Amino acid sequence: MTSPHELTIAEAARLIAARKLSPVELTRACVARVKALDGKLNAFILLLEESALAEAAAAEAEITAGRYRGKLHGIPIGLKDIYSTKGIATTGHSALMRDNIPAEDAHTVALLRQAGAVILGKLSTHEFATGGPSFDLPWPPARNPWDLSRMPGGSSSGSGAAVAAALCPGAMGSDTGGSIRFPAAMCGIAGHKPTYGLVSRRGIMPLSFSLDHAGPLCWTSEDCALMMDVLAGYDPLDPGSADVSKPDFSAITPNIKGMTIGAIRHFHEEDDPCDPEVAAAFDASVKTLESLGATVRTISVSPLQHYNDVGNVILRAEAYSIHERHLTRTPMLYGALGRRRLAAGAFLRASDYVSALRHRSRLVAEMAAAMAACDAVITTGWPSAAPELSENAMVRGPMPTMVFNVTGSPALSICNGFTASGLPLALQIAGKPFADPTVLSIGHALERATAFRSMRPAFATEAATAA
């Protein structure tokens, strides 16, 4: 049998349901992986060994008694350390909040617990989901398991690194401009930013109220769908939550024959030219989609920079409104990167923020019109492979991910091959509002049609063998 830590959630769930895999055995394997590898990876801020093993034992007892709760029962999950956990430190990876002990779980954490998931630990993030990678915080930045000298993306950096290195089969992240999809892209895994309003943000440290999304990072799109089936739903206590019926995530299928997919090529060919290997991988994925029976058409929307300008003005204005009190009173409790990224919004005018919101409605309408004749659209996941880990690693052009934070559309990043030097490349798939299962189906189809899911980072296999 495959080692427990190498199982996807779907595979582990089948074995657990059939009582061929013990949740305790699976959790022990993950704990051992964290102890063996995380000294170099820095994906975890806090490993919850004792409580995780107790939760796994409770899950095992329930399942043995015939009370199987579903696909996440007994599955270890890591949480980006901006998700509130009752009685457990939730720091935002910041000295400012290092003593913060929430009185309640985030709504999504409560949903995971209700589904029987095992909370394995709290994961590294860029400070308050924006200030990183930083070297002046109480914990070091996470590293990329494909190459420890490179960044794992961010801000859900620990989530991406932990899943790619098989320290846990699934993790929670948050995404305000790409913070689920960027680490998914750099770490060669699947990361899903749901439709705005589909997953509650209650109990998660905010960065930008109208752009923040909560969602999963997993090895496969199928696993993201399994997590979404638990996470999605209306929460009347999150004002951004949408009171709509939950999409059917059990319906995801690798059969995409007959679908029409729009390819937004000008983002990476004209607006912000990407690395040649990224473009070649994008073209290869178009051919794969066509071989699966989909029709791919080139479509155009506003330039990538327009979406980024609107998104950045909204993000920085809302972030400053959240952090102003601490930035003006105790700025030295932030890292240097967090200080400047969170404080920049102070320089915006009120009318800038309103104007950005005004243009946002126009971009939302534009994207809805562009998608009208399509089932989904594709873009490159990120314009390059993972850069060297440094404070300047995030400084580059406009991001293809921000587009779908501005529009609120569901958007998934999947592994789309590797560079000649072995670093992952990514494809982004986005869809119509609440058509998250369609987006995940396309990701699932591509993963099944390619061999990219058969490769794990060498660090994760070699180091574990040595340990």
Which residues are identified as catalytic?
80, 155, 179
Q: How many CB atoms lie within 10 A of CB 364?
A: 16
User: Tokens 């990701």, residue?
Assistant: 443
Q: Measure the CA–CA gap between 311 and 169, rounded to whole angstroms.
A: 31
∠ CA 208-83-236, nearest 5°, is 70
Q: Measure the CA–CA gap between 271 and 305, rounded to whole angstroms.
A: 7
What is the residue-wise DSSP string for 289-355? Answer: HHHTT-EEEE---S-HHHHHHHHHHHHHHHHHHHHHHHHHH-GGGS-HHHHHHHHGGGGS-HHHHHH
What is the residue-wise DSSP string for 188-256? Answer: TSEEEEPPTTSB--TTB--S-TTT-EEEEEESSHHHHHHHHHHHBS--TTSTT---SPPP-GGG--S--
Would strands 118-123 and 44-47 be described as parallel, antiparallel, or unpaired? Answer: antiparallel
Rank residues 72 and 377 by Cβ distance to another protein and give the closer one. 377
Rank residues 58 and 370 by Cβ distance to another protein and give the closer one. 370
Cis peptide before 155 (omega within 30 of 0): yes
Radius of gyration of the chain from its Cα atoms, rounded to whole angstroms: 20
User: Tokens 């991406």, residue?
Assistant: 160
Q: List b or e across 134-152, with b for residues whose CB sees 16 or more CB atoms inside 10 angstroms.
A: beebebebbbbbbbbebbb
- Min separation Cβ 344 and another protein, Å: 5
- Min separation Cβ 305 and another protein, Å: 8
Please report which residue ranges of 132-206 form alpha helices under DSSP H: 157-164, 181-187
- Min separation Cβ 174 and another protein, Å: 16
Rank residues 341 and 453 by Cβ distance to another protein and give the closer one. 341
Counted residue by residue, the chain has a size of 467
Rank residues 321 and 419 by Cβ distance to another protein and give the closer one. 321
Rank residues 96 and 171 by Cβ distance to another protein and give the closer one. 96
Give the interface with another protein as residue ranges (CB under 8 A): 195-197, 210, 240-245, 305-306, 308-310, 312-313, 316, 327-328, 331, 336, 339-341, 343-349, 351-352, 355-362, 364-365, 368, 375, 407-408, 431-435, 438
- Min separation Cβ 5 and another protein, Å: 36
- Min separation Cβ 345 and another protein, Å: 8
Rank residues 46 and 348 by Cβ distance to another protein and give the closer one. 348
Amino acid of residue 61: A
Rank residues 375 and 447 by Cβ distance to another protein and give the closer one. 375
Rank residues 284 and 333 by Cβ distance to another protein and give the closer one. 333
Rank residues 79 and 96 by Cβ distance to another protein and give the closer one. 96
Q: Is 19 left (phi over 0), alpha (psi -120 to 50) or beta?
A: left
Residue pair 85/78 in contact by the 8 Å Cβ criterion? no
Residue pair 122/156 in contact by the 8 Å Cβ criterion? no
Q: Measure the CA–CA gap between 30 and 53, rounded to whole angstroms.
A: 10
Would strands 260-263 and 118-123 be described as parallel, antiparallel, or unpaired? Answer: unpaired
CA distances from 160 to 43, 164, 174 (A): 8, 6, 11
